Structure 1
Amino acid sequence: MRLPAELWVFLLSLLAPGVLYIMNNVTVLQEPLPILGMGMVVLGSLLLILLVVQHNTKVDPLFYVFAEFAFICMVGLTNALEQDGYISGFMAFYLKMGEPHLSAAYAVMMSYWEGIVHFILFITIIHRMFKGKSYRSLALLWVGSSIAHQVVHILGVVIGKYGSNIRPAFWRNAPLLLVPFWAGSVLLSRPREMPVVTADKIAAEQRKGLLSRPVDLILSVLLLGAMAFTVFRGLVVLECPLDACFNYIYQFEPYLKDPVGFPRVMMLMYLFYSVPLMVILIYGLTTPGCGWMLDLTIFFAGAMAQAQWCHIGASLHSRTPFTYRVPTDKWWPVISLNVLLAAVPAVLALRCLTSPAYFMKPVPKGQTNNDKKKK
């Protein structure tokens, strides 16, 4: 009996801890270049196996991307479990000769996200792919999360305290950054599945002002608050001399000055990319017919969820030096603000998906949006 594709991917991904264990105990492999070479060979072998397994079926090329990344997810989860002391004997060689920064608190939280959230997404996407169901929104969620993951990861290593100890294996992350951009372009070139909505309902929704849409009004206000908080923390990491910035970094979020580099890069990414995106999203909430909101909100929700998970977790993790952790007496306000920063984009994406009429293009009276697409 032929196994479902998602089960093949799941079983192949479970080989990751075994590969790591072998590499950890074979001396000849414990050098920088052999580590990089071995990693490429393993990923190439997995791709060949998948090609053989699926040779009788016309397969979406994105399947191979998700399958390869699922294997990498298990590598990440193995790292996280070892760094937190749940297992041992898998990662010592790689941390020493490959990517030493993976022992940092931020990287541990990043590995948990990758090994749990991304892995579940991949298995679900592959299942839906081979069942002929839509997976576009789930895949865009991963694209946003993966790009946020790799941008902060790569730049944080380069500019932080680990930048003086970069090994060849680190550069395996370059294609892992580029592939999500390619996957995103492929997904955006495909039509999204939309619910059937009549012209009358679309017109009625788009006649409503912001004050007549309380949920959108609240979301707009929350986005404005998130922008203000983001700009403030950007000024903090840029060492603004204002007393408010000085007090915040020392009394509330000392993690922002951790020399690992990850929090500083993240705050700058927020400042230069998230703030403009939030301005665009507020515009979309106040201007009817902005169909791009349905994709942009999903992408943004994935990026913010991943980034905030890593940031919150690392600021509390035992691997972060005590002086850089969130002070116990400031735990609730700091964590609440950070959770809210991740929750607002997620709620906005959910609002757009469940009630998209306001963002649809107007259609002639008596028709539905589905009728317009058929013409």
Structure 2
Amino acid sequence: MRPPMELCVFLLSLTAPLVLYSLNHMTTFQEPRVVLGTGVVVLGSVLLLVYLIVPKTMKVDPLFYAIAWLSFSCMVGLTNALEQDGFISGFMGFYLKMGEPHLSSAYAVMTCYWEGVFHFALFLTIIHRMFKGKSYRSLALLWAGSSIALQIVLVPGVLIGKHASNIRPAFWRNIPFFLAPFWAATLLFSRPREMPVITADKISAEQKKSLLFRPVDLFLSLLLLGAMAFCVFRGFVVMDCPLDSCFNYIYQYEPYLKDPVGFPRVMMLVSLFYAVPLLAVSLYGLNIPGCSWMLDWAICFAGAMAQTQWCHIGASVHSRTPFTYRVPADKWWPVITLNVLLAVAPTLLALRCHTNLAYFMKPVPKGQADSEKKKK
């Protein structure tokens, strides 16, 4: 009897700290190109092992190979985070010196925690549901949104921040990690979503209600408007807007926005140019009935905002961030509360979309709905 596939992936991923510890104590890894080559060989070997653990007679979703391979990287990230915070030692010294020095920054440490805990748990759950024949589309979209957000902040942040002058060849191993979530999102969005059968009467009754008679949607609309305003404001702040309010905010409330690592500046610009339009589209979907695309996009967007806010909040108070750039103690509660609300708004929107689907579904003729219901 074969062990569950999620257990195989879990055990394979646990070899990451052993590999790192072994490499860290070898004297040959003092050349940046050797570190890059070793990383390629290790990741290639992991992908080969993932391929070999799948029975040849079993038809597997291509997404499995990607997330099983990335699970190993999640454990590498978690090992780095634990070492940077002083819980363990002797694993990452060689790689930080000759591979990716930026991984010692507070923002990178928080991304490593996110990958090592949240993404890894998602991967194992997805694999479990995948081989049990259960739906995993929503969980996979949650990961795709989260991972895309992580990559479009982390990679440009390294390229424009203070670490840009110390980029090693191993940095370019991030290219497949950058492309993987985009490929996965494209794959998932191209597949039809399984929709429950809801009668036309129920859909019509739900969609006839005005916003004033949908208090949850009214509250979410106001929350989304507030999130849009906050994203626009902070975008202006990092672009050195001369308004007194912007000047006071960056020096008195969130000095982390001017940290030379580059990550907070990139994140604010990503929020301005990507999150604000998505918030506006979400607001449209809450007010115009029949927007079935909201069911997928809300999950993807929730994952993205949760990831970016986790890293931003964590880095702004982390001990590895210089004291002058951390959130001031007397402004801690308002700043953290605003940032948490920015993450919570899309999450609440995703929950609302999936607890009451009728408002977002296309009207179905009553006769057709009844016949489909009888078939079930």
Give TM-score, length-normalised by structure 2. Answer: 0.97
Whether the 8 Å contact between 2:157 and 2:266 is mirrored in structure 1 is yes
**Bigger shift: residues 122-131 or 42-51:** 42-51
In the alignment, residue 142 of structure 1 is paired with which amino acid?
A: W
CA shift for structure 1 position 187: 0.7
Whether the 8 Å contact between 1:363 and 1:369 is mirrored in structure 2 is no
Cα distance in structure 1, aligned partners of 2:21 and 2:290:
54
What secondary structure is seen at the aligned counterpart in 2 of 1:336? helix
Residue number in structure 2 paired with 1:157: 158
Residue number in structure 2 paired with 1:350: 351
CA shift for structure 1 position 359: 0.4
1:264-321 CA deviation, whole Å, 9 max, x = no partner?
A: 0000000000001111000000101101000110010000000000000000000000
1:79-121 CA deviation, whole Å, 9 max, x = no partner?
A: 0000000000000110010000000000001100000000000
Residue number in structure 2 paired with 1:140: 141
Residue number in structure 2 paired with 1:26: 26
1:6-53 CA deviation, whole Å, 9 max, x = no partner?
A: 000000000000111111111213321111111111121122222222
1:133-153 CA deviation, whole Å, 9 max, x = no partner?
A: 000000000000000001100
1:333-365 CA deviation, whole Å, 9 max, x = no partner?
A: 000000000001001001101111100011112
Aligned counterparts, 1:98-177, within 5 A: 98-177=99-178
Give TM-score, length-normalised by structure 1. Answer: 0.98
Unpaired runs of 5+ residues, structure 2, are: none
Whether the 8 Å contact between 2:294 and 2:353 is mirrored in structure 1 is yes
Cα 1:324–1:370, aligned 2, differ >3 Å: closer, same or farther? farther
Whether the 8 Å contact between 1:200 and 1:366 is mirrored in structure 2 is no
**Bigger shift: residues 55-64 or 315-324:** 55-64
CA shift for structure 1 position 196: 2.3
Residue number in structure 2 paired with 1:3: 3
Residue number in structure 2 paired with 1:42: 42
Aligned counterparts, 1:71-110, within 5 A: 71-110=72-111
Residue number in structure 1 paired with 2:14: 14
Whether the 8 Å contact between 2:36 and 2:173 is mirrored in structure 1 is yes
Cα distance in structure 2, aligned partners of 1:120 and 1:31:
34
CA shift for structure 1 position 369: 8.9
**Bigger shift: residues 169-178 or 128-137:** 169-178
Aligned length: 373
In the alignment, residue 157 of structure 1 is paired with which amino acid?
A: V
In the alignment, residue 19 of structure 1 is paired with which amino acid?
A: V
Cα distance in structure 2, aligned partners of 1:194 and 1:161:
48
Cα RMSD (Å) of the superposition?
Answer: 1.3
CA shift for structure 1 position 212: 1.1
Whether the 8 Å contact between 2:74 and 2:120 is mirrored in structure 1 is yes
Residue number in structure 1 paired with 2:334: 333
Residue number in structure 2 paired with 1:316: 317
In the alignment, residue 27 of structure 2 is paired with which amino acid?
A: T
Whether the 8 Å contact between 1:20 and 1:91 is mirrored in structure 2 is yes
In the alignment, residue 26 of structure 2 is paired with which amino acid?
A: V
**Bigger shift: residues 77-86 or 36-45:** 36-45
Whether the 8 Å contact between 2:162 and 2:262 is mirrored in structure 1 is yes
**Bigger shift: residues 27-36 or 74-83:** 27-36
Cα distance in structure 2, aligned partners of 1:368 and 1:234:
47
In the alignment, residue 279 of structure 1 is paired with which amino acid?
A: A
**Bigger shift: residues 318-327 or 183-192:** 183-192
1:240-275 CA deviation, whole Å, 9 max, x = no partner?
A: 000000000000000000000000000000000000
Whether the 8 Å contact between 1:196 and 1:370 is mirrored in structure 2 is no
Unpaired runs of 5+ residues, structure 1, are: none
Residue number in structure 1 paired with 2:302: 301
In the alignment, residue 193 of structure 1 is paired with which amino acid?
A: E
CA shift for structure 1 position 371: 3.3
Cα distance in structure 2, aligned partners of 1:281 and 1:325:
32
In the alignment, residue 86 of structure 1 is paired with which amino acid?
A: F
Aligned counterparts, 1:249-260, within 5 A: 249-260=250-261
CA shift for structure 1 position 370: 8.7
Residue number in structure 1 paired with 2:198: 197
**Bigger shift: residues 172-181 or 106-115:** 172-181
What secondary structure is seen at the aligned counterpart in 2 of 1:29? coil
What secondary structure is seen at the aligned counterpart in 2 of 1:366? helix
What secondary structure is seen at the aligned counterpart in 2 of 1:194? coil
In the alignment, residue 240 of structure 1 is paired with which amino acid?
A: C
> Hey, which bits of structure 1, 4+ residues long, moved more than 3 A?
369-372
Whether the 8 Å contact between 2:29 and 2:94 is mirrored in structure 1 is no
Whether the 8 Å contact between 2:29 and 2:35 is mirrored in structure 1 is yes
In the alignment, residue 337 of structure 2 is paired with which amino acid?
A: S
In the alignment, residue 42 of structure 2 is paired with which amino acid?
A: V
Cα distance in structure 2, aligned partners of 1:140 and 1:369:
31
Cα distance in structure 2, aligned partners of 1:346 and 1:113:
16
